[in-house]
Amino acid sequence: MRKFVTERAKQLLSLSRQYQHRPLSASLSRFLSSDPISSSPSSSMASPSDSSTPLTLQTINPKVLKCEYAVRGEIVTLAQKLQEELQAKPGSHPFNEILYCNIGNPQSLGQQPITFFREVLALCDHPSILDKSETQGLFSADSIERAWQILGQIPGRATGAYSHSQGIKGLRDTIAAGIEARDGFPADPNDIFLTDGASPAVHMMMQLLITSEKDGILCPIPQYPLYSASIALHGGSLVPYYLDEATNWGLEVSDLKKQLEDAKSKGITARALVVINPGNPTGQVLAEDNQREIVEFCKQEGIVLLADEVYQENVYVPEKKFHSFKKISRSMGYGEKDLSLVSFQSVSKGYYGECGKRGGYMEVTGFGADIREQIYKVASVNLCSNISGQILASLVMSPPKAGDESFESYLEERDGILSSLARRAKTLEEAFNSLEGVTCNKAEGAMYLFPRVRLPENAIKASEAVKTAPDAFYCRRLLNATGIVFVPGSGFGQVSAY
């Protein structure tokens, strides 16, 4: 992608050495802390506002104050400020551009969209060109055919119109067929809710599950901070279960049981279990046996399984393969009456990387008709998800097939992107592990690495002097020196070493 990424990563070592007055191995402190960042906007704005102001931090919903979203927090705000300074005065910093590594945003780093997908979108958005002779020479025959097919499913053939609140029925049919082809088990289009990316679907389920702080959601730690933020916004309690870094972020069902019992002792009822597979931000891919244990745990405990499967295309090691939790549960003989399962998918990740198009869906199984009505009601409040995202979600689950004009070029684009992601993941993994005081687990999938960085004691003291968590202090120093935007590990949660 960009040649200087690896070189810049090596500056991690020199930054930590600036504060090192003793051997690095003497420091057992951890960069990926669980300490809060005291210099966050919420803490710096905590002083009472003028009495004439109708809304103050003391009068807004306290759940909003409690909510934090680490991947777009304080460090990113600073990065945006530095970017403005670079634009206004080139050469004002020791780097020429900001490299945002805080969030999976492939196209911002130069990844090209899949041609077939964009051709179909363009034709659907501007259907008047379908009848023009020039179109035949500019667009593939199968993209034209698919556009006609999709437009025939949209009321009024207008992508600017509202759709059914669950999404366009024909597109849900296509997605259900894609799920069935992937898993080998039937899928019902009425179980599909199309959403603006996976995030709104997660929020929708949290609204459904959480009634008070006595309702808990079991979440992996480290976790994608959407979950902690969403739980806080809806007033529930995050019940952590800890992935084991020593076993490549393994998920132990024994720890699930321990955390469940601990929550019960505090009067908290666990309503659901979140599993992210492949892992975000940890990059592991669950083994089938482990998935079966998780399914059995949810069935025995009577809790909802929330399966975040948005990185299902991103598996980089030959010994691992993605299997959906629905496929696993059905292969175990469990049906609709045995397990409540919600699976999330998005067009933002995989090889497509269409983050800005905001497309995604959730497949909801194992819920009664009365609960399904309530989910539909919540979806209806937002009228519908955007139509371009709906179309993309259907294309992702039904790409060109052998014999189609676009098939060969589609395969070349898809495989090229996935092999590039795998290669870069391996390169960065090796770069981290070559640095003194830095270790990083193997990248099996997803789009992220979660390294352990041991900071010298003097660096930790320096962070304490400015009342900042060590990991945030380090990320700020790294940004100011190199232009690389890293996210402090504390925003994802982790066992503290301090």
CATH of the domain at 219: 3.40.640.10
Across 143-244, the runs of DSSP E, i.e. the strands, are 192-195, 215-221, 237-242
- Among all chains, which residue has been given the structure tokens 């551009």? 97
Inter-residue contact 323 to 343 (CB < 8 Å) = no
**Domain-embedded: residue 136:** no
| Tokens encoding 296 | 């059995």
- Smallest CA-to-CA distance from 271 within 218, 200, 339 is with 218
354 and 457 belong to one structural domain: no
Arithmetic mean of pLDDT, 341-345 = 96
193 and 249 belong to one structural domain: yes
**Domain-embedded: residue 338:** yes
Q: Which of 233-242, 289-298, 367-376 has the highest mean pLDDT?
A: 289-298
370 and 423 belong to one structural domain: no
HSE, CB side, 13 Å, CA atoms: give it for residue 281. 29
HSE, CB side, 13 Å, CA atoms: give it for residue 276. 27
Arithmetic mean of pLDDT, 89-97 = 84
Arithmetic mean of pLDDT, 223-234 = 84
Amino acid at residue number 203? H
pLDDT score at 104: 75
For residue 470, what is the DSSP state? H
Arithmetic mean of pLDDT, 229-245 = 88
pLDDT confidence of 247, banded at 50, 70, 90? confident
Helix/strand/coil percentages in the chain, nearest 5: 50, 10, 40
CA distance 375 to 158: 26
pLDDT score at 495: 63
Question: Residue 463 is part of a domain; what is its CATH number?
Answer: 3.90.1150.10
Q: Is the peptide bond before 278 cis (omega within 30 degrees of 0)?
A: yes
pLDDT score at 12: 46
pLDDT confidence of 307, banded at 50, 70, 90? very high
Domain boundary among 343, 369, 397: 397
- Of 118-122, 181-185, 379-383, 490-494, the range with the lowest mean pLDDT is 490-494
CA distance 306 to 217: 10
| Tokens encoding 111 | 């990844």
- Smallest CA-to-CA distance from 181 within 401, 404, 459 is with 401
**Domain-embedded: residue 45:** no
**Domain-embedded: residue 223:** yes
- Of 16-25, 299-308, 409-418, 446-455, the range with the lowest mean pLDDT is 16-25
- Length of the chain equals 498
pLDDT score at 304: 95
Domain boundary among 397, 432, 454: 397
How many beta carbons lie within 10 A of that of residue 429, not counting itself?
A: 18
HSE, CB side, 13 Å, CA atoms: give it for residue 204. 29
- For the cut 70, the answer to whether the pLDDT of residue 163 exceeds it is yes
Is the pLDDT higher at 249 or at 326? 326
356 and 455 belong to one structural domain: no
Q: Residues 6 or more apart from 326 whose CB is under 8 A from it?
A: 179, 183, 185, 307, 341, 343, 363, 365
**Domain-embedded: residue 28:** no
**Domain-embedded: residue 265:** yes
Amino acid at residue number 59? T
287 and 186 belong to one structural domain: yes
Inter-residue contact 373 to 83 (CB < 8 Å) = no
Domain boundary among 342, 370, 397: 397
Amino acid at residue number 404? D
- For the cut 80, the answer to whether the pLDDT of residue 492 exceeds it is no
pLDDT score at 83: 85
Domain range spanning residue 479?
A: 62-109+412-491
Is the pLDDT higher at 96 or at 312? 312
Question: In this structure, what are the phi and psi dihedrals at residue 190, rounded to the nearest 5 degrees?
Answer: -75, -10
Inter-residue contact 469 to 487 (CB < 8 Å) = no
389 and 443 belong to one structural domain: no
CA distance 404 to 132: 21
HSE, CB side, 13 Å, CA atoms: give it for residue 334. 20
Across 80-200, the runs of DSSP E, i.e. the strands, are 99-100, 192-195
390 and 425 belong to one structural domain: no
Average pLDDT, the chain: 83
246 and 208 belong to one structural domain: yes
Q: Which of 98-102, 156-160, 418-422, 456-460 has the highest mean pLDDT?
A: 418-422
| Tokens encoding 487 | 């996210």
- Of 52-66, 227-241, 402-416, the range with the lowest mean pLDDT is 52-66
- For the cut 60, the answer to whether the pLDDT of residue 13 exceeds it is no
342 and 433 belong to one structural domain: no
CA distance 150 to 473: 50
- For the cut 50, the answer to whether the pLDDT of residue 5 exceeds it is no
**Domain-embedded: residue 145:** no
pLDDT score at 81: 87
Is the pLDDT higher at 177 or at 39? 177
- For the cut 70, the answer to whether the pLDDT of residue 18 exceeds it is no
| Overall number of domains in the chain | 2
Q: Is the peptide bond before 222 cis (omega within 30 degrees of 0)?
A: yes
How many beta carbons lie within 10 A of that of residue 213, not counting itself?
A: 13
Residue-wise pLDDT tens digits, 443-483: 899 888 888 888 888 888 888 888 888 888 888 888 888 88
Helix (H) and strand (E) counts in the chain: 19, 11
How many beta carbons lie within 10 A of that of residue 11, not counting itself?
A: 14
- For the cut 70, the answer to whether the pLDDT of residue 62 exceeds it is no
Instruction: Classify burial at 277, counting beta carbons within 10 Å of its beta carbon; exposed 0-12, middle 13-18, buried 19 or more.
Output: buried
CA distance 133 to 279: 47
173 and 236 belong to one structural domain: yes
CA distance 478 to 482: 6
| Tokens encoding 134 | 């020039």
Is the pLDDT higher at 61 or at 170? 170
Distances (CA, A) of 51 to 45, 48, 58, 287: 15, 8, 11, 57
315 and 429 belong to one structural domain: no
**Domain-embedded: residue 121:** no
Residue-wise pLDDT tens digits, 396-413: 999 999 999 999 999 999
- Smallest CA-to-CA distance from 465 within 22, 39, 32 is with 39
458 and 372 belong to one structural domain: no
Amino acid at residue number 486? F
- For the cut 90, the answer to whether the pLDDT of residue 3 exceeds it is no
pLDDT confidence of 325, banded at 50, 70, 90? very high
Q: What percent of the chain has pLDDT over 70?
A: 85
